[in-house]
Structure 1
Amino acid sequence: MMETGMMETGMAETAGFHVVRSGDAAQGRAPLVLLHGSGGSERSLIGFGRRVAGGRACLFVRGRVPWEEGYAFFRRHPDRTLDQADLAQRCAEFCGVLRHLGAIGGRPPVLVGFSNGAIMAVAALLAAPALSSGAVLLRPLSPCPGERFPALDGYPVLLLGAAADARRHPSDTPALAEQFRQAGADVAARILPVGHGLDEAGEDTRLTQDWLAGRA
């Protein structure tokens, strides 16, 4: 849900995606690119972004797939397995947003993805790790379980899973964290005593704030 206390600079089309931008980068800090979950929109994470930004600019991106009463970044099959062909196509499209940001200067952004958006964030950083400078993955799931990731030497990533998540198996976050570790990424991972939804006033916010505070 959108919170009204956050300054916005308006919605714009960026590489074919609807994007709301808020805030200005302070002291050259990397902006955040926030990706909502299934059925959400570019406004779904505005409250969370406001809490964790810490002086960073935020870009809230809308997925391009109509889904339920909102949008998603890629499709699932009726049994909720990932539509890998659609994910690959949508990932290539989303990387266009990141390339656009790189073309206009500044530091590569930190990706902040929730659920469907977290899966897209993983797919994008695997496809083009140089286009982002880190990732916060909330209720994530590997887009390619059991596969070996390309080298991600020192790439910083925070994974926040949930012990009572009805949409994830308890092994999903640890398995993804291990894929990152084997690729050489700088991994921090926690399992929180919550469900699938964001604990915006609690540990999701605090842990993300603390993790971002230690990075440019």
Structure 2
Amino acid sequence: MSAPASVAGAAALAFTHRFVPATDPAAPPLLLLHGTGGDENDLLPIGRMLAPGAALLSPRGKVSEGGMPRFFRRLAEGVFDEQDVVRRANELADFIAEARAAYGLPAPVAVGFSNGANIAAALLMLRPEALSGAILLRAMVPLAAPPAGTLPGTPVLILSGAADPIVPRGNAERLADELTRRGGQVEHKVLSGGHGLTPADVAAARAWFQANTPRPAA
């Protein structure tokens, strides 16, 4: 499927997407992954707030749930089609490699919200080489029994909502434990609020990004 034009034009790759080139080539690129019903435009403002000047790569999920884009199928609220999770995570990892070659990018830091955070967590478990780090906003465990793997030092931030009606706190804690067990440098914070994002999420994510994604030496 051909991608639509973006701020600077987007190559015809496997996912419809937006690509905004870097104005600061030393800033790590961001992979922006929207939630259910979002699209490739949703997280661009957050990406700019987190990392001004970074390249932004923002694909649209290929799965449709009642006309709402998603990155993988679910059987019910909080119940995932795990076979589809595996398939779609591999498909997304292949797209990331394709986009890196097309746009000349290093491995990106994923910034995912809800369904986008869950597919990013699946990437960390199934295709960890695709990402250099991840900010998971309202994430859940995507796979009940993921295959063995390692995340040697990969920085990960998980931000949960204390009153989130969709993501049980224990579920997010299990995700943090699993990624830590694989060797990730995981920080899990529970913020006031529900499933929706707040200014506190943006502030915490920005501070973490600045502290955990060192810029290459000049």
Asked whether the two chains share a fold, i.e. TM above 0.5, the reply is yes
Same amino acid, percent of matched pairs: 35
Question: Which residue does 2:141 correspond to in 1?
Answer: 142
Instruction: Check if 1:39 corresponds to 2:53.
Output: no
Q: Give the drift of 1:147.
A: 5.2
Instruction: Check if 1:74 corresponds to 2:72.
Output: yes
Once the two structures are superposed, the pairs formed by residues 125-204 of structure 1 within 5 Å of their partners are 125-145=124-144, 150-199=149-198, 202-204=199-201
Tell me if the contact between 2:64 and 2:70 (Cα under 8 Å) persists in the aligned partners.
yes
Q: Give the drift of 1:146.
A: 6.2
1:101 to 79, 99, 102: 99
User: Is the partner of 2:129 in helix, strand or coil?
Assistant: helix
Q: 1:78 to 1:177 in 2, by over 3 A?
A: closer
Provide the rounded CA distance (Å) in 2 between the counterparts of 1:172 and 1:69: 28
Q: Give the drift of 1:79.
A: 5.3
For 1:92, the aligned partner's letter is N
| CA deviation string 1:104-163 (max 9, x = no partner) | 433211111111011111111222212210000000011124657522120110000111
Provide the rounded CA distance (Å) in 1 between the counterparts of 2:139 and 2:192: 15
For 1:128, the aligned partner's letter is R
What stretches of structure 1 of length at least 5 have no aligned partner? 1-6
Deviates more, 1:45-54 or 1:183-192: 45-54
Q: Give the drift of 1:29.
A: 2.4
Q: Give the drift of 1:72.
A: 0.3
User: Is the partner of 2:141 in helix, strand or coil?
Assistant: coil
Provide the rounded CA distance (Å) in 1 between the counterparts of 2:92 and 2:147: 22
Tell me if the contact between 2:35 and 2:116 (Cα under 8 Å) persists in the aligned partners.
yes
Provide the rounded CA distance (Å) in 2 between the counterparts of 1:30 and 1:207: 18
Provide the rounded CA distance (Å) in 2 between the counterparts of 1:79 and 1:69: 16
Question: Which residue does 2:90 correspond to in 1?
Answer: 92
Aligned length: 207
CA-based RMSD of the aligned residues comes to 1.9
Question: Which residue does 1:63 correspond to in 2?
Answer: 61
| TM-score (ref. length: structure 1) | 0.88
Tell me if the contact between 2:89 and 2:119 (Cα under 8 Å) persists in the aligned partners.
yes
Instruction: Check if 1:29 corresponds to 2:43.
Output: no
| TM-score (ref. length: structure 2) | 0.87
Q: Give the drift of 1:23.
A: 3.9
Q: 1:80 to 1:57 in 2, by over 3 A?
A: same
Tell me if the contact between 1:9 and 1:21 (Cα under 8 Å) persists in the aligned partners.
yes
Moved over 3 A (4+): 10-13, 145-149
Provide the rounded CA distance (Å) in 2 between the counterparts of 1:189 and 1:23: 30
For 2:139, the aligned partner's letter is P
Question: Which residue does 1:3 correspond to in 2?
Answer: none
Q: Give the drift of 1:17.
A: 0.5
| CA deviation string 1:155-185 (max 9, x = no partner) | 1100001111111112122111111111111
Q: 1:78 to 1:190 in 2, by over 3 A?
A: closer
